Structure 1
């Protein structure tokens, strides 16, 4: 089976044995609609266009590496989630950790979504963009006093508490300011999603949440209900990331419903909100089969409804937190090819002008990506390649196994798809590379959302 034709279900991050290289695709110019932004197309000369703008023009004006966002696609995907859950008593929070700029925050608000942030910096961006505080939720496993104080003072809509220490900390902050804060307790349900170890977040042995199995979640509920300044409105659960089915959510919902029953029996308090988190996957390569928002909404709402009915509970208000599912497919990263090194009998190493500083996911998670020659057409035979960066790490790999045209040459532009989520937000200055610009394209026009860093930016903070 081709590496580019994964079966439905969980994918593994292992590197294929050298004696079994991936099978070349039939057409190196084809753009899989599941993988690329909705506006992505090929011009007559083979050049990739996004939002009606050619990549050569984008690279010339903004430089490379370059993050390119299809604004119309982002807005449409946000709308899809709002409409999918819109007929129900439900909220959709965009998970800002996936990608957050002032423009992105405004798009989210304008499309009728709420916004989830997980640091003081993300909260600052949201507020600077004009997002109403009541529409913002604050996450995080170690929120500082300063972060909690800012959230309470501006009046964020909810805080998801993650530990006993934080419950005490938030109680003091709220009391000092004479406020009552709506909170959800983040519950670790013991459901281990079929995903990478570092993005599975609901098994007991990790840093997030309060475990059901140990009684910590029940104790957190007791402490929160006893507080004069914290109003416990519900529970929160997040089982992982890049998930392609709802089976794990079903198990988590069943356990949460049982816990809601226990809370009601002990305290006589029916909690009115249940946040099932996010983490639903997107297509990074052909064969990935993400679920449509309407399917997700119908399944999740149905799961919770059935479990609540079976336990004699009122249906709580549901919340979900798509981030990657909205931002990921809308983004493409452009690179310029610098050097090409053929390792005879194995593969061709194609080095570009970025790397793990603008996309750490391959090195961190073993992520797969789709990449194409973007600046022209080619009808030469495909060459098994590895797309690598310019950093001083042998693990500085962007795409491990792919086919590129045999006549690829320095100066060509290549494009890596589905980089809208967790690339800009996780970018670094490793080797003192300046972070790329973020550009939005729409209706044949491009505009800067985040400007490219300069050497002056890098030196400005170095005051020694």
Structure 2
């Protein structure tokens, strides 16, 4: 066995949980070392490092996580007479989350007097299930002018014919019209990887962009793709 691993959760903004997990793992290793002479080559404290989805999120710098984890592991292994193993983390969401964006085209609009206004888009829970499944919060901007003055607060709804298909409950936006492109921020983690063909809808394309260059890496699904496994009977 190469080593020992733990995972304490997701979207974490404090270091103490990782420090406690590291201490518990090393306690386990000390016990195994005493009983069977086992020495781990790797200690993996998992992932869960939080990112900024909305202005209410205040993630700490990755360096703070790493520094606290490394110091704790070194102190605990030294105090228990163990060799310090390689320290692994799983930065996953903290890397890919902020790197991804969902682009939606604004469609129809519904204004319910005295309650709220709805802006619908050509995507939703099929390409980002997290708001419906986890009540996850996101923010969005207009692609044409992300810093345009705010004109209203709307609820951004999807196209999947479900009352729970709400991408953003309350989003401050400039005035928008059908055909505008809405950019939903920080969707790189658990977006496409959890996407589905809900209600027989094709999944969107994925494009990588860097230094002004764009490359299609996953093509947009077609309706032919959806029926490709259907059999003639």
TM-score, normalised by the number of residues in structure 2: 0.95
SS in 2 for 1:291: coil
Structure 1 consecutive aligned stretches of length 4 or more whose deviation exceeds 4 Å: 376-381
Aligned counterpart, 1:460? 228
Q: How far apart in 2 are the matches of 1:331 and 1:457?
A: 24
Is the CA contact 2:150–2:172 (under 8 Å) kept in the aligned structure 1? Answer: no
* Equivalent position to 1:258, from 5, 13, 27: 27
- 1:196-215 aligned at under 5 Å gives the runs none
Q: How far apart in 2 are the matches of 1:381 and 1:450?
A: 34
Q: How far apart in 2 are the matches of 1:377 and 1:439?
A: 20
* Equivalent position to 1:443, from 203, 211, 218: 211
Q: How far apart in 2 are the matches of 1:434 and 1:233?
A: 41
* Equivalent position to 2:199, from 411, 431, 446: 431
Aligned counterpart, 1:363? 132
Q: Quote the RMSD (CA, aligned, Å).
A: 1.5
Deviation per residue, 1:122-166 (Å, 9 max, x gap): xxxxxxxxxxxxxxxxxxxxxxxxxxxxxxxxxxxxxxxxxxxxx
Aligned counterpart, 1:15? none
SS in 2 for 1:330: coil
Give ranges in structure 2 of 5+ residues lacking alignment.
Answer: none
Aligned counterpart, 1:275? 44
- TM-superposed CA distance for 1:442, in Å, is 1.6
Aligned counterpart, 2:166? 397
C-alpha change, 1:421 and 1:272, in structure 2 (3 Å) is: same
C-alpha change, 1:380 and 1:286, in structure 2 (3 Å) is: closer
TM-score, normalised by the number of residues in structure 1: 0.48
- The number of residue pairs the alignment matches comes to 232
Higher normalized helix content (fraction of residues): 1
Is the CA contact 1:347–1:383 (under 8 Å) kept in the aligned structure 2? Answer: no
C-alpha change, 1:341 and 1:312, in structure 2 (3 Å) is: same
Q: Does residue 295 of structure 1 match 2:64?
A: yes
Q: Which has the higher contact order (CA 8 A, sep 6+)?
A: 1
C-alpha change, 1:310 and 1:380, in structure 2 (3 Å) is: closer
* Equivalent position to 2:8, from 217, 239, 247: 239
Is the CA contact 2:100–2:187 (under 8 Å) kept in the aligned structure 1? Answer: yes
- TM-superposed CA distance for 1:240, in Å, is 0.8
SS in 1 for 2:192: coil
Q: How far apart in 2 are the matches of 1:415 and 1:295?
A: 30
- TM-superposed CA distance for 1:379, in Å, is 6.0
SS in 2 for 1:415: strand
Q: How far apart in 2 are the matches of 1:257 and 1:376?
A: 51
Give ranges in structure 1 of 5+ residues lacking alignment.
Answer: 1-231
- 1:376-387 aligned at under 5 Å gives the runs 376=145, 382-387=151-156
SS in 2 for 1:448: strand
Aligned counterpart, 2:101? 332
- TM-superposed CA distance for 1:376, in Å, is 4.4
